[in-house]
Amino acid sequence: MKKKQILDGVIDHIDFPNKGRVITPEGIVTVKNGIPGQRVRFVINKCRHGSYEGRLLEVLKKSPLETEEAACGEFPYCGGCMYQTMPYQAQLDMKAGQVKALIDGTIRDSGSAGAASLDYTFEGIRPSPQRWEYRNKMEFSFGDAVKGGPLTLGLHKKGSNYDILTADDCRLVHPDMTRILRCVLDYFTENPEDYYRTMQHTGYLRYLLLRRSASSGDLLVHLVTTSQSDPDLSPLVKRLLDLELSGQIAGIMHIINDSLADVVQSDETRILYGQDYFYETVLGLKFKVSSFSFFQTNTRGAEVLYETARSFIGDTKDMTVYDLYSGTGTIAQMLASSARRVIGVEIVEEAVEAARVNARLNDLDNCEFIAGDVLAVLDQIEEKPDFIVLDPPRDGINPKALRKIISYGVPRLVYISCKPTSLARDLGMMMEAGYRLEKLCCVDMFPNTVHTESVCLLSRIK
């Protein structure tokens, strides 16, 4: 095989996260963005040491697994819901198999270090309570679907950094959010402003950030722009407040963002209406969620995730628990009712402040939250842990920090992962240091997409 060669074949299976394996007479090719059983046409775009990758050009024949109709008008061009034409149970089975294969491969590669983990308990995958309309936060981008075309507002076209598809029938979010999107897009179609072009650094409209409380239905609306124009936004505010929604808009914010990076951030936040927060309830605990505070994207799925973690953690009575990479302190507060003391460490200062506010909301006085990098903060904490909960970001744990965590020698710890490949890498290091994998369970927080969460319990054997 050589670059630019066009081939076709059937996707035999998919490795996490979306690496389809196509078996051809010339060899095996990795082709992303497919479904097992599809016959696809692809072009070879990478050849390295006998390994080949291809870019999907066309689906020639549907997979036998594709028994459902697409739920939105932009499938399969939008890169969000890769698996929406598969029945939900088939998605779950595939994700569970991907994670188990990845972890089993790590154990086998660890040799004698992983031998004790060979008989771990795999509890399969727990589904999300909602397959659709589960996202409580969404960032939509302004742009166009084709160069020079009309204004669009939505999500990136699959494989493109620039083309934006209008997502006014996106099924991952509540209909209130798509009604707001449509309202904003219609307003700026009637009252034109240039969208921001990342290469030229010119334009006004950047993003529409929406958040919704699953418990109350309250919504936060954030229009993110540059400072390159200054139109009167009061007519837009009135139009938004006049919408017929099942929930209510708690706040409308105008966020000025002149950063050159393609990220949603605030140089200045102007509250155009209401307030910049609402309250959410998870497992009986109350949380204040503001414009940029971290919160699990699938609220009801988060309850399944935390219930799973709590069942793995077990009794923490009279224990000091470290909640590392603690975010806004959800897990810490969940454990605080039975633990003697819980210490959360999180590098994002805004999340730490939110955790402190939330602890006060829930009348918890045995939680301490420290802002800083885990690697540095661990040296500052005098009280040693009896139990450790790890919930790191997608890239996993810094190896130096992981060595410090391992050095405490706690008998048991729980690792919550949003990226199985990072979990597998960190597990290898932990097994080398004398821990064994006891239990593993997946939780599907992101139905119809390639992602899944995992919870595992480890115990120290030496």
Cα(97)–Cα(444) distance, integer angstroms: 13
Cα(171)–Cα(230) distance, integer angstroms: 33
Give the Cβ contact number of residue 288 at 10 Å: 16
Residue with tokens 């990072």: 422
Question: Residue 379 burial (CB < 10 Å; 0-12/13-18/19+)?
Answer: exposed
Distance from C-alpha of 427 to C-alpha of 460, rounded to nearest angstrom = 13
Query: Are 287 and 281 in contact, with CB atoms under 8 Å apart?
Result: yes
Query: Long-range CB contacts (< 8 A, 24+ apart) of 93-96?
Result: 93/125, 94/14, 94/36, 95/16, 95/125, 95/442, 95/444, 95/452, 96/124, 96/125, 96/442
Task: Describe the strand order of the beta sheet including 367-371 as a list of residue ranges.
Answer: 121-126, 435-443, 453-460, 412-417, 387-390, 320-324, 341-346, 367-371
Residues in the chain: 462
Q: Would residue 47 show up in a list of annotated catalytic residues for this protein? A: no
| Distance, CA of 446 to CA of 102 (rounded, Å) | 19
Exactly one of 418, 441, 442, 456 is catalytic; name it: 418
Interacting residues of 255 by C-beta distance below 8 A, sequence separation 6+: 209, 222, 223, 224, 225, 264, 266, 268, 269, 270, 291
Please state the separation of Cα 25 from the chain's center in Å: 37
**Interstrand relation of 277-282 and 268-274 (parallel, antiparallel or unpaired):** unpaired
Strand runs labelled E in 49-179: 51-61, 121-126, 137-144, 151-156, 164-166
Which of these, 394, 390, 374, lies nearest to 456 by C-alpha position? Answer: 390
Distance CA 221, CA 273 (A): 10
State how far the Cα of 212 lies from the Cα of 216, in Å rounded to an integer.
8
Strand positions, DSSP E, 214-291: 219-225, 249-256, 268-274, 277-282, 285-290
**The two structure tokens encoding residue 203:** 């334009």
Report the catalytic residues.
418
